[in-house]
């Protein structure tokens, strides 16, 4: 997510811990209300109150969005450089579209999506989201590798067990589905017991697959996640340092300008005194 350094009292307010804590509390309260709406008895007795609370929550979110947009001052276009701001605008602004308001299911999804905004106010959660994003390319490669492994073992399983166990190994699709279930070690003893009645090499087939797929692949996934998390933490730290440097640069620039103005005023005063002495 791109961060934009900005100054001003309003920017300090919307970026403060108290303001963010308040919005996070409203999001949690909104989640509680959404949960209460799943109980028919609560809706029958307090349905109007829940509707009013949802309206109040939405008003708070709209006010927050307006304040964040206004905090960019004369550069409102910078508001859209932040991915979180765009996400908030889509989730909150979509409710104002008449076609969206007419869709009850879509409205429920949008109201539920507001809860996801809580990630914005939790630094560790932001790192986790960034970890998922950064791990996508590596995970995609791992998925391709796993599919190739499942295809090879699926063809072997079809050739060895397909005729005797058609429900599990009758086609390459059924064989790969069985191997996918075995990734979780679900019903492993049952599959192994059935296969042992067909071929004495069944234990070698199943054990080698479990070692390669369930253990090695999962360990690779853990390694990818850990590496991506480290990159995400470095990115977050770099962004924080950049913001701090930008703020320091802005303050130092302002101080330099003030010093320059003071020096200019001193020169003007000295020049006026010399003229008066003449």
Per-residue pLDDT at 143: 83
Q: What is the pLDDT of residue 240?
A: 56
pLDDT at 95: 80
**Close Cβ partners of 13 (under 8 Å, ≥ 6 residues apart):** 19, 67, 71
C-alpha angle 263-264-268 in degrees, rounded to nearest 5 = 115
Average pLDDT, consecutive stretches of 10 residues, N- to C-terminus, the chain (278 residues): 61 86 89 89 90 90 90 85 84 80 73 77 70 75 86 94 92 93 86 92 92 78 75 66 49 64 70 66
* Cα 137 to Cα 143: distance, rounded to the nearest angstrom: 10
The pLDDT value recorded for residue 93 is 85
| CATH topology classification for 126-254 | Helix Hairpins (1.10.287)
Q: d(Cα 103, Cα 134) in Å, to the nearest integer?
A: 34
Kindly give the residue spans of alpha helices, DSSP state H, lying in 71-103.
83-93, 98-101
Domain boundaries, the chain: 9-121, 126-254
Q: Classify burial at 30, counting beta carbons within 10 Å of its beta carbon; exposed 0-12, middle 13-18, buried 19 or more.
A: buried
User: Using CA atoms, how far apart are residues 55 and 61, in angstroms rounded to an integer?
Assistant: 10
Topology of domain 9-121 in CATH is: 1.20.120
pLDDT at 75: 82
User: Taking a C-beta distance cutoff of 8 angstroms, is the pair 220, 142 a contact?
Assistant: yes
């Amino acid at each position: 997510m791109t961060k934009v350094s900005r100054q001003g009292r309003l920017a300090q307010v919307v970026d403060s811990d108290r303001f963010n804590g308040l919005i996070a509390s409203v999001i949690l309260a909104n989640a509680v209300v959404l949960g209460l709406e799943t109980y028919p008895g609560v809706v029958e007795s307090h349905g109007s109150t829940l509707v009013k609370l949802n309206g109040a929550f939405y008003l708070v979110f709209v006010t927050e969005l307006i304040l964040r947009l206004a905090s960019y001052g004369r550069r409102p276009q910078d508001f859209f450089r932040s991915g979180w701001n765009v996400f908030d605008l889509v989730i909150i602004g979509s409710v104002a579209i008449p076609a969206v308001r007419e869709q009850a299911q879509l409205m429920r999804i949008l109201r539920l999506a507001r809860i996801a905004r809580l990630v914005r106010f939790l630094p560790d959660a932001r790192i986790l989201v960034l970890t998922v994003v950064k791990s996508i390319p590596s995970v995609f490669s791992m998925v391709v590798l796993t599919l190739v492994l499942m295809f090879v073992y699926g063809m072997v399983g079809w050739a060895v067990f397909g005729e005797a166990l058609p429900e599990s190994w009758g086609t390459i699709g059924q064989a790969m589905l069985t191997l996918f279930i075995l990734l979780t070690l679900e019903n492993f003893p049952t599959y192994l017991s059935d296969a042992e009645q067909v071929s004495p090499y069944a234990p070698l087939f199943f054990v080698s697959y479990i070692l390669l797929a369930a253990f090695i692949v999962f360990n690779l996934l853990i390694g990818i996640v850990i590496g991506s998390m480290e990159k995400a933490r470095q990115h977050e730290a770099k962004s924080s340092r950049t913001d701090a440097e930008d703020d320091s640069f802005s303050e130092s620039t302002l101080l330099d300008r003030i010093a320059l103005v003071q020096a200019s005023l001193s020169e003007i005063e000295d020049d006026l005194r010399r003229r008066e002495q003449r």
